[in-house]
């Protein structure tokens, strides 16, 4: 019933890990989830053991829609298990950025593809690439919320700053219903001063928008990804599983409406970053 982009303009910040394991936690809680792999790296698809590029994938359906035919995402859905399905990516998605440029209604293609599926799932998550190109813009236009995972370090904070400018632009010009659901600190270690400082700074800039649940650094999360499965299947007693379970619970409570605090100004970021 609602669509969430997992995005931030910074590579390796935990987007895919969060998409996979938040979705798995929600599925275990009885929710029906669809994941869309919008990153040409296809890490989300690989995280669920989809190694071979399927004949139908996000690119094939985008391509049809771009060329005036009707693309159908349901043709590309791979069921991982009941309640959890994936629309896999393709390396050709890298070229879609360029192909989209000349297309009519280019920012809305993914929204058009997702629309018929929205009522069939409790949540649709879109795992975005780290660059703000047309794929990420398409994801934001298709979404009700954006969730931003980031490690508690200085450079990702810069990524937030840059991303927020694009987010505001998309909200103003293309999709005024999109809401910043919040920030999730990943690879978090409360013994690291930098992690704590970044958490504090973000909380000051975006009141109520930093999830209380942070995801601790946990090697099992990386191993699960390598093994092509989620953390609950791989090691349900790990810190990673505990943290993503808590995150899923907080996610559900935060989704209740009525929180629309103003997005902070660039000045406040400048002050913080300089």
Ligand X SMILES: Nc1ncnc2c1ncn2[C@@H]1O[C@H](COP(=O)(O)OP(=O)(O)OP(=O)(O)O)[C@@H](O)[C@H]1O
Can you tell me the distance from the alpha carbon of 56 to that of 53, in angstroms, rounded to the nearest whole number?
8
Q: Which residue number has the CB closest to Mg ion?
A: 16
Contact with ligand X (CB under 6 A) among 1, 101, 222, 273: 222
Can you tell me the distance from the alpha carbon of 205 to that of 200, in angstroms, rounded to the nearest whole number?
9
Q: Is 10 in the site for Mg ion (CB under 5 A)?
A: no
**∠ at Cα 220 (219, 223), nearest 5°?**
95
Stretch that binds ligand X, among 38-46, 78-86, 160-168, 254-262 (CB under 6 A): 38-46
Q: Is 225 in the site for Mg ion (CB under 5 A)?
A: no
Stretch that binds Mg ion, among 39-47, 198-206, 233-241, 242-250 (CB under 5 A): 39-47
Q: Is 143 in the site for ligand X (CB under 6 A)?
A: no
Nearer CB in complex with ligand X: 66/140: 140
The count of residues interacting with ligand X (CB under 6 A) is: 20
Contact between 61 and 75 under an 8 Å Cβ cutoff? The reply is yes
Q: Is 39 in the site for ligand X (CB under 6 A)?
A: yes
Contact with ligand X (CB under 6 A) among 225, 229, 238, 245: 225
Nearer CB in complex with ligand X: 51/270: 51
Contact with ligand X (CB under 6 A) among 3, 5, 9, 17: 17
Quick one: what does residue 215 bind among ligand X, Mg ion, none, with the CB cut-off 5 to 8 Å set by partner type?
Answer: ligand X
Q: Is 77 in the site for ligand X (CB under 6 A)?
A: no
Nearer CB in complex with Mg ion: 15/111: 15
Q: Is 16 in the site for Mg ion (CB under 5 A)?
A: yes
Can you tell me the distance from the alpha carbon of 114 to that of 118, in angstroms, rounded to the nearest whole number?
6
| Alpha helical stretches, state H, the chain | 15-28, 43-47, 58-66, 93-101, 109-114, 134-141, 154-173, 193-205, 219-227, 231-234, 239-254, 266-273
Quick one: what does residue 116 bind among ligand X, Mg ion, none, with the CB cut-off 5 to 8 Å set by partner type?
Answer: none
Minimum Å gap between C-beta 172 and ligand X is 26
DSSP conformation letters of 161-186:
HHHHHHHHHHHHHT-TT-EEEEEEEE
Q: At what angle do helices 134-141 and 154-173 cross, to 10 degrees?
A: 60
Can you tell me the distance from the alpha carbon of 32 to that of 100, in angstroms, rounded to the nearest whole number?
30
Nearer CB in complex with ligand X: 189/249: 189
Q: Is 60 in the site for ligand X (CB under 6 A)?
A: no
The tokens for 140 are 């934001």
Residue 193 φ/ψ, nearest 5 degrees: -60, -40
The CB-side HSE value for 66 (13 A sphere, CA atoms) comes to 22
Minimum Å gap between C-beta 202 and ligand X is 17
In 10 A of CB 58, how many CB atoms? 30
Binding site for Mg ion (CB under 5 A): 15-16, 43
List residues binding ligand X (CB under 6 A): 11-17, 39, 41, 43, 130, 186-187, 215, 217-219, 221-222, 225
């Amino acid at each position: 019933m609602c669509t969430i982009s997992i995005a931030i303009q910074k590579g390796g910040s935990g987007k895919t890990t969060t998409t996979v394991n938040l979705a798995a936690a929600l599925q275990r809680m009885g929710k029906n989830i669809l994941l869309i792999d919008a990153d040409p790296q296809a890490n989300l698809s690989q995280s669920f053991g989809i190694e071979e590029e399927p004949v139908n994938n996000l690119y094939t359906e985008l391509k049809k829609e771009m060329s005036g035919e009707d693309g159908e995402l349901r043709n590309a859905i791979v069921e991982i298990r009941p309640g959890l399905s994936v629309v896999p990516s393709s390396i050709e998605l890298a070229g879609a950025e360029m192909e989209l440029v000349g297309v009519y209604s280019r920012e809305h293609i993914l929204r058009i593809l997702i629309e018929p599926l929205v009522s069939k799932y409790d949540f649709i998550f879109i795992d975005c690439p780290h660059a703000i190109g047309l794929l990420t813009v398409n994801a934001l236009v298709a979404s009700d919320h954006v969730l931003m995972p980031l490690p508690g370090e200085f450079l990702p904070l810069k990524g937030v700053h840059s991303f927020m400018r694009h987010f505001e632009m998309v909200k103003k010009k293309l999709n005024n219903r999109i809401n910043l659901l919040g920030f999730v600190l990943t690879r978090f270690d409360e013994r690291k001063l930098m992690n704590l400082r970044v958490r504090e700074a973000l909380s000051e800039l975006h009141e109520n928008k930093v999830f209380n649940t942070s995801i601790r650094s946990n090697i099992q999360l990386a191993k699960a990804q390598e093994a092509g499965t989620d953390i609950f299947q791989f090691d349900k007693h790990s810190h990673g599983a505990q943290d993503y379970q808590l995150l899923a619970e907080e996610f559900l409570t935060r989704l209740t409406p009525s929180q629309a605090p103003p997005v902070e100004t660039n000045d406040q970021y400048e002050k913080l970053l300089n």
